[in-house]
Amino acid sequence: MTRFFRFGALVATTALAGLSGAAMAAPNPFASPSTLPLQAPRFDVIHDSDYKPAFLQAMAIQKGEMRRIANNHAAPTFDNTIAAMERSGRMLDRVSLTFYGVYQANTNPTLDKTQSDIAPLLSQHQDSIYLDAKLFKRVETLYNDRAHLDLTPEQAQVLTLYYQQFVHAGAKLSPADQVRLRALNTQISTLETAFQQKLLAATRDGALVVDNKAALAGLDDGSITAFAKNAADRKLPGKWVIPLQNTTQQPDLTDMTDRATREALFKQSWTRAEKGDANDTRATIATLAHARAQKAALFGYPDFASYVLYDQMADTPAAVQHFIAELAPATRTQQDREAARIQETIRKDGQTFTLQPWDWMHYAEQVRKQDYALDENQVKPYFELNTVLRDGVFFAATQLYGITFKQRTDIPVYNPDMMVFEVFDKDGSTLGLMYFDYFKRDNKNGGAWMSNFVGQSRLLGTKPVIYNVANFAKPAAGQPDLISFEDVVTMFHEFGHALHGLFANQTYPMVSGTQVARDFVEFPSQFNEHWALDPTVFAHYARHYKTGAAMPQALVDKIKKAATFNRGYNMGELIAAAQLDMAWHALPASAPQQDVDAFEKAALDKTGLNTALVPTRYRTSYFLHIWSNGYSAGYYAYLWTQMLADDSFAWFREHGGLTRENGQHFRDLILSQGHTQDYGPMFRAFYGKAPDITPMLNHRILGTDPN
């Protein structure tokens, strides 16, 4: 998963009226640009208590900037209106990008309180900008006269996007509807924050506590030691604590041989946010879904999905449903085949029970070993995290794009586990900075993501400062950082997002880098995953952590062959989640608030998939993507962009694979374009035709094309 916080000059930024002069006068580390390289955040001087006053001061500054633009007596021009708005909010960008980077990955009660206090204020003042009639009048005047303004293509795109966003934010609503919209936006923002905080606490508290070491049979000594440390950290001596990942299925289910423990861990995951306690998210979700539907109705849309998809590549809910419908039948067929094979394995194991969701991962691994002779414990010694990063992720980027990397130990970080690298372009010039925060913590949200501390813009003279975050298990002291191949793929995925940000080459922040639609933004990351198994790249990083020996070819072949297994499961849990998301956001405003569990069951029953055995990747009650991270009516984007990624990799293979020429072609036509063009023409310029679902079906479902 990837999270993007789009705090450009206007997007998701706000300002606050009525701030006292004393508060504005207070010194703050965000008041001026950082003096570190590329304006990297001053984590050496920033304190948790600095964020809230910085937000308030920054919002007040931007409020004044916007007022001056709106009240300008000169006729509107692109420079005095659009470019002026792009230049505004610099302090707000600094504090927003830094705060949300830390808040998502290293939160604490002070940051939680700051988020609760600030979220509704950000929402309110975003409204004060987009609903400013004088400001919109200037934008609308320029938009209506755009054919005569002699704009560059990028300027024309920025002007169009500003106009569309103003309209989509309510600029053309009646005064009464604007009042209602402001109230709904505040309510929605507050609910989203409440959901996120409840879920983080529920996930932390939902960790499985084990009293008997025998119940951990099958797990390796390193994991058991880590779980004992988790328990000690929680003041539970003599016990073991297994933390939950953000997904329904949990990685440790693969190795656990004790079925009762597997069931207990699965059910802790499934019910983490449904305990009927203060962290139960269901009431929050029911209210939030209803509020979103009401907001869509204000704009004349039948549902929130229609409201959201207006600027996406897919365009309409009907197009999304048609796309998913093309995937579901083949996926169901694969699920049934896989379930039958797993049930057979259970029987051969001397067991008589019927396959349940908590058995799938464990026995799928047995099938993998039997049919493909692959044992993850044989594989992990060849995947040491730092070697994968430097000799795999970085190596592929160098081969494709000519960029190089140098670790920086003089750049302050918010957690000592982090690494920072300076990135150099093919001509030796500095391209940007990259932070990596890979290890799981109790105060870190689940999953993996990328975002910026500093965005690229020629107008502002800034270069990208980017971070990748993941949740890999941290090894015990003195132990190697060995990861699974799934973790390897995650590293390539998130770095694909980073490349999209690093190669940003735009003048205006609004269209720079990863500031693109949800169903396009995952395209570069899904594409970059393919290089994890490219023979040249794989041979360069898959080396034994003790001896440095390359992985034996027989084991490499097993990994590639095993990649064709469990395709029905992997695709099915994604499709179910996408359908669940679309169902929630297809509710009309006239529908009453829903019983969350009943609605979820009905929605999943309609998928045509075997959701009893292949549960949705995220249940409604812990679906962070759609209730707090901006992917509402957009989770399908992961599937849509898999199609774009698989098409693109097919193009690479047809044109010679891992070459600088091919990499430059992809960089020039996709990675460096930001949102300077519409997505369909941009993709066709690279691929030569419209997206084609065939490579995706072959690669992701049918298993006929493992790489």
- pLDDT of amino acid 370: 85
Q: Which two tokens stand for residue 376?
A: 């993850």
pLDDT tens for each residue of 435-445: 999 999 989 98
Find residue 407's DSSP bridge partners.
421
Rounded to two decimals, the pTM is: 0.85
Give whole-number Cα distances, 64 to 327, 509, 621, in Å.
51, 20, 40
pLDDT at site 449: 94
User: CA 682, CA 665: separation in Å to the nearest integer?
Assistant: 12
Here the tokens at position 602 are 């009905």
Q: Is 658 exposed, middle or buried (0-12, 13-18, 19+ CB in 10 A)?
A: middle
Distance between CA 615 and CA 603 in Å, rounded? Answer: 12
Question: How many CB atoms neighbour CB 693 within 10 A?
Answer: 15
b/e code 185-203 from CB counts within 10 Å (16+ = b): bbbbbbbbbbbbbbbbbbb
By CB atoms closer than 10 A (0-12, 13-18, 19+), residue 176 is exposed
CA–CA distance from 330 to each of 24, 229, 574, 616 (Å)? 60, 44, 14, 17
Give all domains of the chain, ordered by start, each with its CATH number: 37-172 (1.20.1050.40), 208-271 (no CATH), 301-374+566-701 (1.10.1370.10)
Classify residue 403 as left (phi > 0), alpha (psi -120 to 50) or beta.
beta
Please identify which residue in the block is written with the tokens 């094309």.
705
pLDDT at 702: 81
Task: Give the C-alpha separation, 607 to 627, whole Å.
Answer: 21
- What SS3 class is residue 186? helix
pLDDT of the residue at 16: 22
Rounded to whole angstroms, the Cα distance separating 483 from 471 reads 11
Q: Mark whether 494 is an active-site residue.
A: yes
Residue carrying structure tokens 């044989």: 378
DSSP 480: -
412, with CB counted inside 10 A (0-12, 13-18, 19+), is middle
Distance, CA of 98 to CA of 355 (rounded, Å): 46
Q: Which residues of the chain have pLDDT under 70?
A: 1-26, 703, 705-707
Distance between CA atoms of 284 and 191, rounded to whole angstroms? 6
Angle between helical axes of 175-205 and 282-298 (0-180°, round to 10): 160
Q: Which of 435, 400, 442, 399 is nearest to 420 (CA)?
A: 435
**What pLDDT score does 707 carry?**
52
Query: Catalytic residue among 274, 365, 376, 494, which?
Result: 494
- Residue 100 near residue 37, CB atoms below 8 Å: no
